[in-house]
Amino acid sequence: MSDSLRRFGAVGGGVLLVVGSLITWISVDLGFQAFSATGIETTEGKLTLAAGIVLIGLGLVQLWRALTPRLFGYLCALTALFGAVVLLFEYLDVLERIREADGTPATASVGLGVWIAAIGALLALAAGAWTVVDERRGR
């Protein structure tokens, strides 16, 4: 994988984490009233927003080759993994809320922001992991 593709993975994944953190994570319809919550309204959303900003920074810093490829790979992979784990916990929390709504007239659903942020975390994780693998192989 080329260096520019790795940087794109970090920056692109970071941007998707940031965008996902800013849009709807859960929607609830009570029948007479509906509401939704964005990622940054939760602690988890603020953490994924921070992870996205760090990933964008890592990708941009790497434009000047300020980090060794191995360090870039590890930092990128660890930051993305952190974002993915936070998203997993938030997803499970949302599923629990949806389960609690069963048997009531309320309906709840996982918002698009969770999925966009998850794609970003996976993209950045792949870029970081690929960098580490390439460096271990001596490429």
pLDDT band at residue 107 using 50, 70 and 90 as cut-offs: confident
| Structural domain span for residue 87 | 3-137
pLDDT at position 69 is 86
User: Which whole number is the average pLDDT over 82-92?
Assistant: 93
d(CA 114, CA 16): 10
This prediction's pTM: 0.88
Of residues 70 and 19, the one with the higher pLDDT is 19
The CATH number assigned to the domain holding 68 equals: 1.20.140.150
Contacts made by residues 90-95, CB under 8 angstroms, sequence distance 24+: 90/25, 90/39, 90/42, 90/44, 90/45, 90/48, 90/114, 91/118, 93/44, 94/25, 94/26
Domain count, the chain: 1
Tokens 């009531």 sit at which residue? Answer: 104
The total of other beta-carbon atoms located within 10 Å of residue 24's CB is 18
Task: Kindly tell me if the per-residue pLDDT of 24 is higher than 70.
Answer: yes
pLDDT at position 115 is 95
pLDDT at position 1 is 59
Residue type at 58 in one-letter notation: L
Secondary structure class of 64 (helix, strand, coil): helix
